[in-house]
Amino acid sequence: MTKEQLNHYKKIIMEKRAALLQELDRLKSSGLNTSMKDTSGDHSSYAFHMADQGTDTMDREQQYFFASREGNLLYHLNLALERIERGEYGMCVGCGKEISAERLEAVPHARLCIECKSKEERQKIK
């Protein structure tokens, strides 16, 4: 992978990450605030329903964060940035081959090539 390609993917990942962080902030403030001032009757049409588990606010916040699709994606985007820094980006962690450019365009944080990914998914189903 050339430096230009790396920068290209890094840019995509950084942009996705920035958008996600914004989204998470929005979700977090609207979600936590509405659940705290529940009695105000201020239930906007914006649907944010946190699973009603756990009593501690910090735990709930973290639980929500890591359980959410956004939090999970953010985690993978961060890992991808780390791999870029370490020069491991674009290499399949399963077989060590280069991940195809088409796949990286579609899933810039991919860490498995198509073959390993489908293998992994087959194993999960079993």
**End-to-end Cα distance, the chain:** 35
CA distance 42 to 46: 11
Least distance between Zn ion and beta carbon 115 (Å): 5
Q: Residue 92 interacts with Zn ion (CB under 5 A)?
A: yes
Q: How far is the CB of 90 from Zn ion (least distance, A)?
A: 11
Task: State the alpha helices, DSSP H only, in 1-126.
Answer: 3-36, 57-67, 69-86, 101-106, 114-125
95 binds Zn ion (CB under 5 A): yes
Q: Sign of torsion, CA 112 15 106 101?
A: negative
94 touches Zn ion by CB under 5 A: yes
Q: Does 101 sit near Zn ion (CB under 5 A)?
A: no
Tell me the window of 2-10, 33-41, 54-62, 85-93 that interacts with Zn ion (CB under 5 A).
Answer: 85-93
Name the site residues for Zn ion (rule: CB under 5 A): 92, 94-95, 113, 116
